[in-house]
Amino acid sequence: MIDTRLLSGKDVSQAVYTTLDPRIQSLKQTGIVPSLAVILVGDDAPSKVYVKSKSRQFAKMGLKSETIPLPEATSEAGLISFIDKLNQDSSFHGILVQLPLPAQIRSEKVIRAISPEKDVDGFHPENLGLLTSGQPRFIPCTPKGILKIISHYKINPSGKHVVVLGRSNIVGRPMSILLSSKNENGNGTVTLCHSSTPDIKTFSRQADILIVALGVPKLITKTFVKKGAVIIDVGIHRIPNNSEKGYEIVGDVDRKSIEGKVSAITPVPGGVGPMTIAMLVENTVEAAEIQST
């Protein structure tokens, strides 16, 4: 049995906020308060919870975060027109459109409408292109948070086999680019698996570092991992049970199954989730710094 270390995103996020505070105070001394506009279309319950968490952290840091609710029936053209107004509004340094969007709105069109200089989510094609070329402006929040966790706990990907499960532009694809890039938190040999990979287990069992972002509760068990691996669990799901709350929060990894076999794992909750919010704060501060020069 291995003593499996928990990689606490809560602890790392607090360290991030501590380092951000002097940068925020420096901006405020020049009359600049880093500000984020969050657009929430419709009544998706998880989105509302997540947006509330973001707003709470911004307020705690003395930053401005304004949530703008729009009706479920909002048209694509109407949303893009609204985004254009925010692009021209210098009082907001960052713009975030909470996903998922209603069926009548194409998310890729909306993401393209956000000014790349205000795209603190890092999803705009221009920002993804800069990331790919090794000159990132804004790194997507979840991959950036994972890099911070790896760095904080002195886990070095260099020379390691990193396997990423999931190829979304939000997590998997940028994660594979970052960890294979030539930098202090990269230089890994990266395999990217997805829904058309014939036997994911064949690859996951080779991983020194396994990053799981598949969106399937408790899919990864001890048979998917090799002894001593580091596991980053990006998934988060609410599963009904018979507890007092009536549910439990779990990840894509069955943590109880693999503890004792792997060397380290991010918990769910309390792992990657807090880091995503911390990186949104950091990206908004960076946007304010860029726009103030």
Tell me if 64 is assigned to some domain: yes
* 187 and 265 assigned to the same domain: yes
* 47 and 110 assigned to the same domain: yes
* 238 and 269 assigned to the same domain: yes
Number of domains in the chain: 2
Cα 84 to Cα 79, 89, 109, 112, 125, distances in angstroms: 9, 9, 12, 11, 17
How many other CB atoms are found less than 10 A from the CB of residue 29? 8
pLDDT digits (tens, 9 = 90+) for 157-202: 999 999 999 999 999 999 999 999 998 889 999 999 998 999 999 9
Tell me if 239 is assigned to some domain: yes
Tell me if 18 is assigned to some domain: no
The token pair at 6 is 């928990």
pLDDT digits (tens, 9 = 90+) for 125-157: 999 999 999 999 999 999 999 999 999 999 999
Cα 282 to Cα 32, 152, 155, distances in angstroms: 15, 16, 22
Q: Cite the beta strand spans of 154-265 per DSSP E.
A: 161-165, 189-193, 209-212, 230-233, 237-240, 247-250, 264-265
- Identify the H or E element spanning 279: helix 272-291
The amino acid occupying position 82 is: F
Domain boundary residue, one of 54, 83, 117? 117
Residue 50: CATH number of its domain: 3.40.50.10860
Q: Which residues are catalytic?
A: 54, 98, 121
Cβ(160)–Cβ(208) under 8 Å?
yes
Residue 176: CATH number of its domain: 3.40.50.720
Tell me if 289 is assigned to some domain: no
> What torsion, rounded to 10 degrees, do the Cα atoms 263, 266, 267, 270 define?
150
pLDDT by residue for the chain (293 residues), tens digit each?
Answer: 899 999 999 999 999 999 999 999 999 999 999 999 999 999 888 888 889 999 999 999 999 999 999 999 999 999 999 999 999 999 999 999 999 999 999 999 999 999 999 999 999 999 999 999 999 999 999 999 999 999 999 999 999 999 999 999 999 999 999 999 998 889 999 999 998 999 999 999 999 999 999 999 999 999 999 999 999 999 999 888 888 888 899 999 999 999 999 999 999 999 999 999 999 999 999 999 999 98
pLDDT above 70 coverage of the chain, percent: 100
Please report, in angstroms and rounded to a whole number, the separation of the first and last CA atoms in the chain: 54
Cβ(164)–Cβ(193) under 8 Å?
yes
Domain residue limits at 220: 140-273
Cβ(273)–Cβ(46) under 8 Å?
no
